[in-house]
Amino acid sequence: MQLRPSALQVLLIDDPAAKADAARGLLRAGQAGELLIDAAAELHTDEAALPGRPARPRLVGADQVPRRSPFTLAGRAALLHAIAHIEFNAINLALDAVWRFAGMPDDFYRDWLQVAGEEALHFTLLREHLRTLGHDYGDFDAHDGLWRMTDSTKHDIVARMALVPRTLEARGLDATPPIQAKLAKAGDPRAVQILDIILRDEVGHVAIGNRWYRWLCVRDGLDPVALYPELLKRHGAPRLKGPYNLDARRAAGFTQAEIDYLTQAPP
């Protein structure tokens, strides 16, 4: 079985549970050595069909997604739904990296397959817990920022590595501990445990983004620190604001120069 065409097939699946199961199955097949990687293959598909996703949740602007207190049941469900939506989109962006970008080392595809499988686990855990709160994925409105940036960078692998894993996803490294503190105060230890798993894995996912961003910069003779703000501006990516989880960012491979840019540059 070929990895990259299989990743595209999974990306096209609409049903969230089926997609998550298929992504985890693909990772197991890869770990068992059952997948062939043809890095040189140029694959094509109907871009309008990407990504496969359900009719719900309804997608709205980020400013139209209401903030709710985690100290009410409905508010806690809405918060966990928002995180589940991020994890669902993270499955898609990892699968998209696998199928879309030809000519990379085999380890690139193995890395992003691992990310897809782990994001699928995160989504499954969150959805299962959301159901114990009387809700399901799709019950609340959500925004599409993560996939829109994925689509914006579909023709530029350097920008993709810079702006999706190590910008938008890296924001989760900063946001997760405060969310955990609120969930603990709200009396939801299971949600805190799930976010422990997510935070641990996301450090590795951001590290993968850092690894391949720097590899590409070396390949193309680019300065990764100087290039980064140019890519932010080119693709309209958000300029992140603190506070930052510096320990997690260092563990994910951010250099001191990159941390200095985050913490010292004007917004």
What the chain holds in terms of domains, given with CATH numbers, is 3-54+70-264 (1.20.1260.10)
What tens digit of pLDDT does each residue of 41-94 get? Answer: 999 999 999 999 999 999 998 778 877 788 999 999 999 999 999 999 999 999
Kindly report whether the global pTM for this prediction surpasses the value 0.85: yes
32: pLDDT strictly greater than 60: yes
d(CA 132, CA 165): 30
Buried b (16+ CB within 10 A) or exposed e, 48-74: eebbbbeeebebeeeeebeebebeeee
d(CA 19, CA 50): 13
